[in-house]
Structure 1
Amino acid sequence: MTQTMEIDSGAIPVWPQHLSIELVHRTPTIGRIRFDDNALYHEALFEALAEAEEDRTRAAPRAGGHARIEEFDAWDVPEAELLRLRAVKFCRALMNTSAIALQSADVLVVRRGQQIPAHQPEHSVASLTYVLSGDTDFLFQHASLAQHRFIVPEDTRPGDCFAVPNDMVLSVPAVASHIPLMLVSFGFRRLP
């Protein structure tokens, strides 16, 4: 039986049955799941995000000008809990273990003219990047790639969730679009 939860738009499966992990890059491994039901929950997340951005204790400007809103997993919004549950399930499926727990969850907001220098959740065994909005490419870099070489996921759209190794770094070049790039960055730790 599929687990569901109630959000503002009604009941929604925590893990839709049609999902499959797409291999975006083989070495280093990058996996993607596309949650095509995101129209049911993104609007509530945008509203919660606007509120969080106004609260200076929750939003901090970062190098490159982008904003980082910490503790996404603590937002008292069912849509945020849905994303958290999906991220944990995705990471556990990829690592083939239930001994994984969420360590950090932050929203990164990058507006026109802003960028994200190399970003990686601290001390995580794996990280996921979920796309809330935007049409700007973002980049993954890994030590196994030549210097200044990046992997740019193709056909990225809102609702995409990328899983990458713990030593892979995310960055975003200066955003040229009027549509802000909004990403949720999840970091995971292994349980004893």
Structure 2
Amino acid sequence: MKIEQIHHVAYRCRDAKETVEWYSKMLNMDFILAIAEDHVPSTHEPDPYMHIFMDAGNGNVLAFFELPTKPEMGRDPNTPIWVQHIAFKVKDRAELLEFKEHLEAQGVDVLGVTDHSIFHSIYFFDPNGHRVELACPDPAEDALLSKLDAVKWDMLEEWSRTKKAPKHAEWLHKKELSKA
């Protein structure tokens, strides 16, 4: 048995129409499907919802639920805001910079470009408060991934024992830190 791919990833949204329009305008995603019911199919709870689906490319689907009868959306106060996010891959750095310029021109506050050595990213928030990342591969991505692959199990084992950051891949962000 093996998972083929992610079917969809679902988040909550404050307003389904606003979310469709934002992802269409800001990230050029197509609106592909909407489902609305008064009962939850899996649990049979009476709870009206709007479930929308956006095309995130290559068969990847980003979905949202608007839940008008539930309390306002919140965040886990024990999880830093930078942790929970969704990242989308773009073709290259030129396209990443084009998205950054487009988003900023629309009034979106964009953080980055951040150089992660294996890829480069920008970060911003959607209108629901979800953190979004756009990432493009680094030209040396394959060689760097191979280097990381060689130490992944050792790093995991050391982390599991010590709960301290192993130094096996400390080179990864060194050049970014040297810019700070």
Task: Please report the TM-score for the alignment, with normalisation by the length of structure 1.
Answer: 0.22
Larger CA Rg, structure 1 vs 2 = 2
Instruction: Report which structure shows greater RCO (CA 8 Å, sep ≥6).
Output: 1
Higher helix share: 2
